[in-house]
Amino acid sequence: MTHRVFHAWDGLNGEIGKQIDAQAPCPISGQHAAIVLCDRDRYGYPLRTVISQTTGLVYADPRADNDAIDDFYRSTYRRFYKSASKPKWKHTARNAFIAGQRVEMIKTLAARGAAVLDIGTGSGELLYVGRRNGFDMQGIEVDQAYAQFGRKCYGVKIINESLRSAFLPEQHFDVVTIFHVLEHLPDPKQALSKIAATLKPGGYVLIEVPNIESLDTRFRQKWHPGHLFHFNCCTLPALASICGLETLSVHTCPRRNVVGATLTKPHTPIETDWKTLVADNFKNTWQLLQGQAKQNWYANWYERLGRARQKLKRNLCEWTISLSEGNRRKLVDKVTRNRAA
């Protein structure tokens, strides 16, 4: 089951493969020309997903208004999709392991004492681990319960607002991290522009989003209703470029499940032609997704089976280490020590 806030489509102009003028323009090109990719979300509920004919960016159209989306993430999202108002112990173990990885990434970009902002910080494990490694950490988390949990449990600084509503000082942070958040935001262009404004010249952005080209996610499973935008290695740098950010590196993993990028705010603004960055991207993405739509359910079954085994093994490890420690801070410390060993 999914949540009705994302189902703003009235059912019209939903024929798959049809060329339409999308209600919302592509945030990269500002153009409305699009083709309908799918008319249902992964749960079977009505959701129109389109691909921009100018850039190849994939997005949900139409979308609910910004206030409705913010309110959903403020009070409902974690309970709706995670069945919890605070992180489960196994999630704390997982978050701690990932936080250790991400702090190592931050260390390659900034020295101790650097001001770091984590957007969509959840329950705050990255802020806690980053602070222990000498960084001046601050987070933004729209969910009220999770923000309160992070403050109380780890003593970290969390702004309990949406990125759209939060006040951020100009040219203040050395590093901004935003992992698996941008795809949920109703205006990613406004979000990256706000990040650029709060970043010091020469500062960095670490970003990660799901990859629309994923080989492990079957076509009908790609359309999570909360994922309003679907990026790839072309569209993410193109969007960053029109927001005043330069892409230093962009990468994905062997099965292309995610897109990660390191961005920077140049000391002197540079002109980047987004059209060059997305040249042929519409054609390539459209063909790839058409091919995936025709695959049978058992396509790539062997890789999916391997992924299921890895997930089971990870869950067992998380539960085992969670049961060994009854204090959240000590659990995070234990996981990060074990990872570093």
Residue pointed to by tokens 């605070």: 86
Query: What pLDDT is recorded for position 22?
Result: 97
Residue 145: give its domain's CATH number: 3.40.50
Whether residue 277 lies inside any domain: the answer is no
* Cβ pair 134, 147 in contact under 8 A: no
| pTM over cut 0.75 | yes
The secondary structure of 106-157 as a DSSP string is HHTT--TT-EEEEET-TTSHHHHHHHHTT-EEEEE---HHHHHHHHHHH---
Does a structural domain hold residue 181? yes
254 belongs to a structural domain: no
Residue 280 belongs to some domain of the structure? no
Give the whole-angstrom CA distance, residue 336 versus residue 341. Answer: 9
What is the rounded CA–CA span in Å between residue 103 and residue 116? 10
Per-residue pLDDT of the chain (341 residues; tens, 9 = 90+): 456 778 889 889 999 999 999 999 999 999 999 999 999 999 999 999 999 999 999 999 999 888 888 888 888 887 777 777 788 999 999 999 999 999 999 999 999 999 999 999 999 999 999 999 999 999 999 999 999 999 999 999 999 999 999 999 999 999 999 999 999 999 999 999 999 999 999 999 999 999 999 998 899 999 998 999 999 999 999 999 999 999 999 999 988 999 999 999 999 988 889 999 999 999 999 999 999 999 876 777 777 787 788 888 888 988 899 888 889 999 999 999 998 86
Count of structural domains, the chain: 1
Query: Do the domain assignments include residue 213?
Result: no
In a domain, 272, yes or no: no
Give residue 319's domain range. Answer: 83-185+298-341
At residue 329, the pLDDT reads: 96
Residue 226 lies in a domain: no
Tell me which residue of 237, 157, 166 sits closest to 197, measured CA to CA: 166
Is position 17 within any domain? no
Measure the CA angle with vertex 261, ends 295 and 76; round to 5°.
Answer: 70
User: pLDDT value at position 1?
Assistant: 46
